[in-house]
Chain A
Amino acid sequence: MADLKPAGRLPLLFFGMLSLLGGVMAGLARLGWEVPAPAMQAAGVHGPLMIAAFFGTVISLERAVAAGRNWAYLAPLAAGASGIVLLAGAPLLAGQILGSLAAFGLIAASAVALRRQVAAFTVVLTLAAGCWLVGNLAWLASSNVSTAVAWWLLFLVLTIAGERLELTRFLPTPPVAQKLFIGIVGVLLIGALTAVNSLFSTGLLALAFWLLRYDIARRNIATEGLTRFIAACLLSGYAWLLVAGLLGLAGAFTPGHPWRDAALHAIGLGFVFSMVFGHALIIFPAVTRIKIPYHPALYLSLVLLHLTLALRVLGSLAGNFDLRHLAALLNGLVLIVFIVTIATLVRHNAPRGAR
């Protein structure tokens, strides 16, 4: 079976990290921070850089490793390239086309998993990849990022939810739980399709309750080490998904709503990055074959993420721009704290881990 070697995957990951760096700075530019020129001109594409380019690269890279097929790595390559193109100030169309090709690639790689096993979770993961494509095409057709937002959020939310559904099989989960899950996914898809924000928000809220109730994290929080850390990341992330659902019910997903920033970042930072923090120690070594030992210092990044995000949400709810402005910068710095923590752990491990 032809699969790309780990040494070839690392550049793809770094490629994606450029979109993260540029995307965060583009986000800061939106809030009036001085950033380097490439990020300044990309202020309007903060969302595409973060979701389609960065997460698109990471998720399709992870799926390519699972599929174990050479061609599947074209998806993270295209997603990473879409980010570079956006940061380079090339015509939006170039970024949109590359992003759409990447999404096609992810759908194909997800279909490999689906063929190996037809189950609710493999279907949901493939649907999530489809949402990424729909979002990209909506953006391409309308030239308006906000038409893509719900679909891109679903790309992330359903990818995570599908993987969590898979893991509930370890527990004696009642059959009704899977039916509920499928119903919630249906509500979310209809919510995005009809652009009825209250329906979409209800779906997010229901999913948060479902995850808090059925996820294996509820049991694993009582264990220790890495397993417990992952559970802490998950459960706190679910709390942010719940917050996003509540804000959405209050109208926050409407473009121009003063709480929109709070709702979008409750999902993007609170729910999704908690997941990233928890799984970096599993996914990074799985992709690159570089081991990262667990260390309790990882909790520092997680706590800082929640505290600085809470500040941002409070700033947004209270209409206090200065607070939101400062908190956004702190959000970005937390990501640096996390990356430095990981790099330190890798370096620390290198002399013993080298064979």
Chain B
Amino acid sequence: MTAALDTEQIRTALRKVVDPEVGANIVDLGLIYRIEFDAPGKLLIEMTMTSPACPMGEMIVDDAYAELDSVLPADCQPEIRLVWEPPWAPSMMSEKCRLSLGWNEADST
């Protein structure tokens, strides 16, 4: 069952979770650090927030769970962990996201 889902499909689902302050989704912002099927029926996701002082973390995690619920089969239990290491950096954003925010290839971090 879970074999039918690959990490790319998980990413697609998580792209529906948007940070309204920036107007970009959490995958393209580079907040998703790890997507792994640990064991059959067990999905582990590690993600971060851009700011440790922002209260939105818990809500974004909940929104991510809701999006996962809509694509995962009933027997697959996702677990999302909020991690702070390594701290988020602008270089983690996707190329497309960076370009849309005005970065070009020459810009570092």
Contact = CB atoms under 8 A, between A and B. Distances in A.
Interface of A: 3, 62-63, 65-66, 68, 110, 112-113, 116-117, 119, 121-122, 125, 162-163, 166-167, 169-172, 216, 219-220, 223, 225-227, 230, 281-283, 285-287, 289
B101 interface: yes
A223 B24 CA distance: 11
Contact of B21 (A68, A110, A125, A167): A167
A286 to B, nearest CB: 4
A163 B53 contact: yes
Q: Which 6 A-B pairs have the closest CB atoms?
A: A116-B52, A65-B55, A227-B23, A113-B53, A113-B52, A66-B55
B24 to A, nearest CB: 8
Interface stretch (B9-17, B57-65, B72-80): B57-65
| Size band of the interface chain B makes with A | 20 to 34
Interface string B3-28: 00000000000000000111110000
A117 B22 contact: no
Contacts of A62: 55
Contacts, number: 91
A66 B101 contact: no
B53 A125 contact: yes
A7 B30 CA distance: 31
**Majority DSSP secondary structure for residues of B touching A:** loop
B56 interface: yes
Interface of B: 20-24, 29, 50-59, 62, 84, 87, 89-90, 93, 101-104, 107
A172 B90 CA distance: 9
Contacts of B93: 170
Contact of B53 (A63, A219, A225, A283): A63
Given A227-B23, A281-B20, A286-B59, 14 more contacts: A3-B58, A63-B55, A113-B52, A117-B84, A122-B52, A162-B53, A166-B51, A170-B29, A170-B50, A170-B90, A216-B21, A285-B59, A286-B55, A286-B56
A279 to B, nearest CB: 8
Given A68-B58, A167-B22, A230-B21, A121 B53 contact: yes
Contacts of B84: 116-117
Nearest to A66: B55
Nearest to A217: B21
A339 B87 CA distance: 36
A274 to B, nearest CB: 15
Contacts of A65: 55, 58
B87 A117 contact: yes
B90 A169 contact: yes
14 contacts: A65-B55, A66-B53, A66-B55, A117-B87, A162-B53, A163-B51, A163-B54, A169-B89, A170-B101, A172-B107, A216-B21, A216-B22, A226-B20, A227-B20
A248 to B, nearest CB: 28
Nearest to A224: B23
A282 B20 contact: yes
A63 B103 CA distance: 31
B50 A169 contact: yes
A185 B53 CA distance: 19
Given A125-B53, A227-B23, A171 B101 contact: yes
A167 B55 CA distance: 14
